[in-house]
Amino acid sequence: MLSITSSQSVQNCEGASRREFLRVGALGLGGLTLPHLIATRASAGEGNDILTGKSVVMLNLQGGPTHIETFDPKMTAPREYRAMFGETKTSLPGVTFGSHFPMLGKLAHKMAVVRSFKHGNGSHAAAAALVAAGGNPTKACMGSLFARLAGMNNTRTGLPNNTLVVPAAMGERYKKFNAVPSRITGTGDLPDAYGAFDPSKGSDILNDMQLNLPDGRFEDRRGLLSQLDELKRFADKGGVESASEFEKQAFDVILGGVSKVFDLSDEDPRWLERYDTGHIKIPKGLPKKKKNGKAIPGFSPEALGKQMMMARRLCEAGCGFVTVTNTGWDMHGNAFGVDDGMPILGPAVDKAVSAFIEDCESRGLSEKILLVITGEFGRTPRINSKGGRDHWGRLCTLAFAGGGLKMGQVIGQSDKTASSPSADLVTNNMLLGTVMHTLFDIPNLRLRNNFPAEIQQIITNSQPIKQLV
């Protein structure tokens, strides 16, 4: 907890004391304390040589996305196997995506799609945890592994290095939408302190600094916390000049880190519109037609565009690992089937992810941020009687964009019915290796002796997907 206090009580021209302004409550930045922050910043650079300065955004399509309707349409297969809605051409010759990804199709040359990812587990919780951990023996998700070596917080901004962005983090109106983050953010054998920071949980950063910004935060400055405005005015009037160096550093963290990330007032309205998925809604009559129809409204992807924009902002501010959740992909047919789920979830992913890729490129961040799209498993090749597909761990969805890796390719092949890999098998360890080799300078990490040997060996011994590096 970060409590910023002063024993002094110097009045400013508005009658408020410096002590009053410096005491901004407990800033729960992933377990950061002010003494730890200052100590870390005093030794800035120590240990930073193991980091590449890059970030990873993991978009988890919760429930198990169909690999056929997303990135492997299989239109030459028999009708009961091929993509239900057909295919769309891409910018890569001879490569097609599912028909709900036309914008991503135009950006295929900036992506790498894996059609041969397999882990074999068809159970939701177990498979989700397996993929999130990259199969590592500690069972800690990749974000926690990263935080264990990189530190819980960015030494420059104080932001958590491992952050979770669920719909509820985008405002009160999105709290009704589903998320099951526990499956993909577990710390395994690591201490809970290395878990993902979740700004939707009512943690100290929200309770004490009240950064639970209203829905309008994506539109105008009214979304800023009043205390932050007061702190800024206080600093602008020279109120920080008399503060100790210790206190100045605390101001720097708050005003230079937290506020900038959560203040979207400087976003170009055109980009706000480009990301926006608020218009993609559940048809009113659909839940009544389904056995588990009561769950369907919670699968709305209305917040996904804002989640992806926030992920970019977090990475830009120094957060190393961001997990974004999007639910509804368990398309058996009892709730969503492929027939009614893809026309809702597919366009949202298409718009939000394509906006993210273009936004990163426009800001010169394509080399600095790696996007990974995955889920816990794929779906059965054969369409069932309910217009859905069932659990399938033998072939899974996996796609990448950015991070300085080799894009513009399809890696691996599936067999003729998209049932299993037929060439260039990609495993969980390869996913782990790709992520960790993006985040860490592996040769330098191998030379260090001040990290837990098991974690160090897990990361340095992992092997990335060879076609990407």
Confidence of residue 451 (pLDDT cuts 50, 70, 90): very high
Element (H, E) at 371: strand 369-374
Q: For 272-315, what is each residue's pLDDT tens digit? A: 999 999 999 999 999 999 999 999 999 999 999 999 999 999 99
Q: Is 344 exposed, middle or buried (0-12, 13-18, 19+ CB in 10 A)?
A: buried
Answer with the residue of higher pLDDT: 48 or 461.
461
Q: Is the Cβ–Cβ distance between 432 and 136 less than 8 Å?
A: yes
Instruction: Provide the angle, in degrees to the nearest 10, between the axes of the packed helices 34-42 and 245-253.
Output: 100
What are the angstrom distances between the C-alpha of 135 and each of 164, 222, 241, 250, 254?
A: 20, 44, 51, 38, 36
> Which one has a higher pLDDT value, 70 or 317?
70
For 86-134, the pLDDT digits (tens) are 999 999 999 999 999 999 999 999 999 999 999 999 999 999 999 999 9
- pLDDT greater than 50 at residue 5: no
52-201+266-468: which CATH topology?
Alkaline Phosphatase, subunit A (3.40.720)
pLDDT band, residue 425 (cuts 50/70/90):
very high
pLDDT digits (tens, 9 = 90+) for 391-414: 999 999 999 999 999 999 999 999
Tokens 């509804």 correspond to 328
Tell me the pLDDT tens digit for each residue of 169-218.
888 889 999 999 999 999 999 999 899 988 887 544 433 333 333 344 33
Pick the closest to residue 263 from 302, 214, 305 (CA basis): 214
**Mean pLDDT in residue range 324-343:** 97
Whole-angstrom Cα distance, residue 71 to residue 10? 62
Residue 439 identity (one-letter amino acid) = L
- Predicted local distance difference test score (pLDDT) of residue 3: 37
| Residue 208: predicted pLDDT | 35
Query: Other C-beta atoms within 10 Å of 454: how many?
Result: 12
Task: Give the type of residue at 226.
Answer: S
The CA distance from 186 to 195, in Å, is: 7
Which tens digits make up the pLDDT trace of 18-48?
A: 443 333 333 434 444 444 444 444 443 345 7
Predicted local confidence at residue 256, as pLDDT? 52
Q: What is the pLDDT of residue 357?
A: 98
Q: Where are the domains of the chain?
A: 52-201+266-468
Tell the burial category of 25 from Cβ atoms under 10 Å away from its Cβ (0-12, 13-18, 19+).
middle
pLDDT band at 232 (very low <50, low <70, confident <90, very high): low
Kindly state the helix (H) or strand (E) to which residue 447 belongs, with its residue range: helix 442-447
DSSP character at residue 221: G
Lowest model confidence (mean pLDDT) among 3-7, 176-180, 190-194, 229-233 = 3-7
Residue 229 pLDDT: 54
DSSP secondary structure string, 120-178? ----HHHHHHHHHTTT-TT---HHHHHHHHH-SB-TTT--BSEEEE-GGGG-GGGTTS-
Tokens representing residue 146 in the block? 């990263």
Q: Measured between alpha carbons, how far is 312 from 359 in angstroms, rounded to an integer?
A: 8
**370 and 43 Cβ atoms separated by less than 8 Å:** no
In the chain, what percentage of residues exceed pLDDT 90?
70
CA 315 to CA 54: how far, in whole Å? 8
| CA proximity to 304, closest of 116, 118, 62 | 62
Query: In terms of DSSP bridges, do strands 369-374 and 55-61 run parallel, antiparallel, or are they unpaired?
Result: parallel
Q: Would you say the C-alpha torsion 282, 60, 418, 295 has a positive or negative sign?
A: negative
Specify whether the CB–CB gap between 261 and 217 falls below 8 A.
Answer: no
Question: What is the mean pLDDT of the segment spanning 5-23?
Answer: 41
The predicted pLDDT at position 215 comes to 45
Which three-class secondary structure state does DSSP give residue 436?
helix
Q: Residue 210's pLDDT is what?
A: 36
Phi, psi of 342 (to 5 degrees): -65, -40
Cβ 243 vs Cβ 6: under 8 Å:
yes
Q: What is the pLDDT of residue 278?
A: 96
pLDDT (tens digit per residue) in 141-154: 999 999 999 998 88
Tokens read off for 64:
């198990």
CB contact at 8 A, 8 and 19:
yes
Q: Residue 263: what pLDDT?
A: 62
293 exposure class (CB count in 10 Å sphere: 0-12, 13-18, 19+): middle
Range with the lowest mean pLDDT among 182-191, 233-242, 341-350, 453-462? 233-242
pLDDT in tens, 361-381: 999 999 999 999 999 999 999
